[in-house]
Amino acid sequence: MKTLYFITSNKGKVVEVKNKFSNLGINIVQKNLGYPEIQAAELEKVAFFGAEHVQKKFNHLFILEDAGLFISALNGFPGVYSSYVFHTIGCKGILRLMSDFGDDNSRRAVFRSVFAYVEPDKKPLLFQGECYGRIALEERGGHGFGYDPIFIPDGETRTFAEMGTSEKNKFSHRGKSLEKLIDFFKKQ
Ligand code: IMP
């Protein structure tokens, strides 16, 4: 069975990736190597730089991901700063920033995911996915991680945190980027 390392410290992401790769004959193994997340305006640049950094010291097949939540009313904030903002003001802080916006189109947001897939000595390949939705009025649900309790994908009334892993994967930014990565794998 082929092993694909997933470079991340986020156990929630690992659960989602393993769920997506189950039945594909690929063993996903988490590796918490750590890498610099550069200050850049696009997730692609952050993922690509991180991938090249890891590639220099880790001579195996691996993936890593950069993701972010972009809120229209806040001009795309927290976006590429999603991790820092989550660890400082968290979901509650985002809800406070959104307190002037009612339950209508003004709460629109998009989650984006970019995976870098890396083979030794080859240029990293990028796979993107996005999921449009809105910011909930309050935190709901106990599943998932990060901003899941405040994000409702289009076509749903529940937040990501009110869904199980397989269901979130059907809608989510990560589910979609992984779908592209899996298609690529199947063609190889
Ligand atoms: P990272 O830099 O890709 O690890 O993610 C940036 C931030 O966005 C982290 O604080 C995560 O908690 C959050 N995040 C990323 N993906 C998701 C998701 O699928 N659901 C909720 N929060 C997420």
> Whose Cα sits closest to atom 12 in ligand 1?
146
21-70 confidence digits (pLDDT tens): 988 889 999 999 989 888 888 999 999 999 999 999 999 999 999 999 99
> Whose Cα sits closest to atom 23 in ligand 1?
146
Interatomic CA distance for residues 96 and 101, integer angstroms? 10
Find where tokens 């509650």 sit. 92
Q: What topology is assigned to 2-187 in CATH?
A: Maf protein (3.90.950)
Percent of the chain beyond pLDDT 70?
A: 100
Ligand 1 centre from 44 Cα, in Å?
A: 15
Catalytic-residue membership of 148: no
Q: Are residues 157 and 133 in contact, defined by beta-carbon separation less than 8 angstroms?
A: no
65-114 confidence digits (pLDDT tens): 999 999 999 999 999 999 999 999 999 999 999 999 987 789 999 999 99
Ligand 1 centre from 174 Cα, in Å?
A: 10
| Active-site residue identified among 66, 121, 148, 183 | 66
pTM across the whole model:
0.96
What percent of the chain is helix, strand and coil (3-state, nearest 5)?
40, 25, 35
Interatomic CA distance for residues 2 and 73, integer angstroms? 44
Q: Are residues 144 and 96 in contact, defined by beta-carbon separation less than 8 angstroms?
A: no
Q: Are residues 55 and 104 in contact, defined by beta-carbon separation less than 8 angstroms?
A: no
Q: Which residues, other chains included, contact 133 with Cβ-Cβ below 8 Å and sequence gap of 6+? A: 108, 109, 110, 111, 151, 152, 153, 154, 156
Interatomic CA distance for residues 26 and 41, integer angstroms? 33
Ligand 1 centre from 122 Cα, in Å?
A: 27
174-184 confidence digits (pLDDT tens): 999 999 999 99
Residues with a CB atom less than 6 Å from ligand 1: 10, 65-69, 82-83, 86, 144-148, 160, 172, 174
Q: Where are the domains of the chain?
A: 2-187
Ligand 1 atom with minimal separation from the 37 CA: 2
Q: Are residues 18 and 10 in contact, defined by beta-carbon separation less than 8 angstroms?
A: no
Ligand 1 centre from 68 Cα, in Å?
A: 6
